[in-house]
Amino acid sequence: MNPVSVVKMKDLFVILGFYLVMIIGNPAPAQGVNATGTGKQSDSCCMQQDIVDVLFRGNNPFRGKSPHRFKAFAVPLIAYDPATSLQVGVGGSFSLQLGNPENTRLSAGMSSLLFTLRQQFFVQYKSNLFFPHNTWLLQSDWRYYLFNLPIYAAGTQNQCLIPAPHGYNPVITDPSLGGSYLMGYDWLKFHNILSHKVTKNIYCGVGYHFDYHFNIDDFELLIKKDTLYNTPNFAYSKLHGFNPAGYISSGVSANFVFDSRDDMVNAYKGVYINVNYRDNFTWLGSSRNGSQLWTEFRTYISLSRRCPRHLLALWYYGCFVTSGSIPYLDLMSISYDQMNSSGRGYSQGRYRGEDFVYGEMEYRFPISKRTHILGGVLFTNVCTASSRDMHIPLFGYFQPACGAGLRIMVGKRDRTNIAIDFGIGNMSKGVYVQTQEVF
C-alpha cells in the first residue's frame, strides 16, 4: 500500500522474520555507544543496542570505513489490506551523511515498490537531504501509482453528503454504497523543495510541485439521461471546472523550515516547524489556478533525564485551500503527508477536505531494560476536514483514533526502528508497519 501498510495479524510474523534476516544496513558496533548515538557514555539508564548487536555480538560485518557512509536496509514486504488485497514487494529506509558529522546533519529517506492482486502498482521515494555544513536542504517526494481504492465525500461527517453538480436533476446518491465509492486512477507526483540555511536551524527556499492524476475511472458513477448516481470526484470536478477523468496541478512554492531536532530519523528532543505556500498556475500546465497553505509543527518532550527514549511526541499539520480551485484528489486527506504515516486507525484517503487539520500525541518508552532494542508507544490522533460545497465547516466534525505499537531498533546510530502499530478509529481499525518513526 505505502511505507505504512495495513496488514492482518498473521502477516506480522512473516514480515518480522524478513526484517530480522534481511538487514543490510551499517549500524555501528555496541562498544561505547549510548542512546544518543554519540559513542560517549551519558546519563542513559543503559547503552542502546540494536538487532545487529544481538545477531553478530557486536562484530557487525556491514560496518563501513568511511565517515561519509550510506546506511540502509531493505526488506521484502508481504501484507494484506481489504482495499488492495495481497501486497508483495520490497521497501526500506536509508540514512546518509553528506558532510562532516560535526557540522552536517544526518539525511534520511525511504523508498518502496509494491504490487497487489488487484493490479495495483506503487513506486515511491521520499527524502530530506542535508548538504555539507547544512548549507542546503533538499526535500523530495516522488511517486508513481497505478491505483484503485474507495474514496469518500469531503469532510469528516459520517453521512453520504455529495453536492449536486449543475445540469443533472434529480441527483441520486446510492445509499447501498455506505459512503464508499471505488475509483481507479494513475498518479504521477514529483515534488522538490530546495532551501538555504538562514541561521543555525532556519531554512528558506522555493519548490516545484507536479501532480498528474489520469485514467480516472469512477466505477460507481452512472448517468441515465438526467438521473445521476453521483460520486465525490465527479460532483466536485464538475462544480469546480475540472475534467473528472484527469487533471494536473503544477506550481511553485515558498517554504520556511525551523528544525532543531537532534535526529532526522527518530528525534528525542527538539522542534520542527514547516510552512509551505504553493501556487498552481495554468501557465505551468495546471488544469486550474489555485493555492494551498501547509503548516506543520512537531515537538519532542523528554520525560526522563536517564532514558532519552522515554518521551512525549506531539504533531500537528494543517492544509488549507487559500484561493482558486484544487483538484479533488489533491485535497489533503488522511495518510497523504510526505511519509504517508498520519491517521493510524483509518485507511488511506478516508477523510479529506479543502481545509484539513490533524493532531497526534504519542508516548514513547523503552521496553527491554538492558538493551533498549524493544520499545513501545501509546498514541491518539484526531482529524477534522471541511466540505465547502456542502457548507460543512472545519472543526464541525472530529474523527479520533487511538492505539499502541511496538518498536524494534535495527540501527542505533541513526535510531532506525521497525514500527508496528495497531490503531482503532471510528468504525475502523488496522495494523500498520513501516521502517521509520511515524513522525
Each of the 439 residues of the chain gets a pLDDT tens digit; together they read 443 344 433 343 333 343 333 333 333 333 333 434 343 334 456 677 666 666 665 555 545 444 447 776 666 666 555 556 566 778 777 878 888 888 888 888 888 888 888 778 889 898 889 999 999 999 999 999 998 888 888 999 876 678 888 877 667 666 666 688 889 999 999 999 999 999 989 999 999 999 999 999 998 888 877 778 788 999 999 999 999 999 999 999 999 999 999 887 889 999 999 999 999 999 999 999 999 999 999 999 999 888 888 999 999 999 999 999 999 999 999 988 877 789 998 888 889 999 999 999 999 999 887 777 889 999 999 999 999 999 999 999 999 999 999 998 887 777 878 888 889 998 888 877 777 788 9
pLDDT, tens digit, 9 for 90 and up, residues 173-227: 666 666 888 899 999 999 999 999 999 899 999 999 999 999 999 988 888 777 7
Question: At a CB cut-off of 8 Å and minimum separation 6, what does 75 contact?
Answer: 15, 18, 19, 22, 90, 91, 92, 435
In contact, 117 and 133? CB cutoff 8 Å = no
* Cα–Cα distance for residue pair 204/35, rounded to 1 Å: 31
Tell me, yes or no, whether 229 lies in a domain.
Answer: yes
Residue 80: predicted pLDDT? 54
User: Taking Cα atoms as reference points, which of 305, 299, 307, 393 lies closest to residue 45?
Assistant: 307
The predicted model scores a pTM of: 0.82
Any domain includes 439: no
Judge whether 182 lies within some domain: yes
Domain containing residue 59: CATH number? 2.40.160.50
The burial of 301, by beta-carbon neighbours within 10 Å (0-12 exposed, 13-18 middle, 19 or more buried), is given as: exposed
Could you give the count of Cα atoms lying within 13 Å of 114 in the half-sphere of its Cβ? 31
245: burial class by Cβ within 10 Å (0-12, 13-18, 19+)?
A: middle
What's the structural domain count of the chain?
1
By the 10 Å C-beta count (0-12 exposed, 13-18 middle, 19+ buried), 45 is classed as middle
**Any residues with CB less than 8 A from the CB of 427 and at least 6 apart, and which?**
none
The domain of 101 spans 5-434
Residue with cell 493555492: 291
DSSP string, 271-311: EEEEEEEEEE-GGGT-SS-EEEEEEEEEEEEES-SS-TT-E
Angle at 344 between CA 420 and CA 25, to 5 degrees: 35
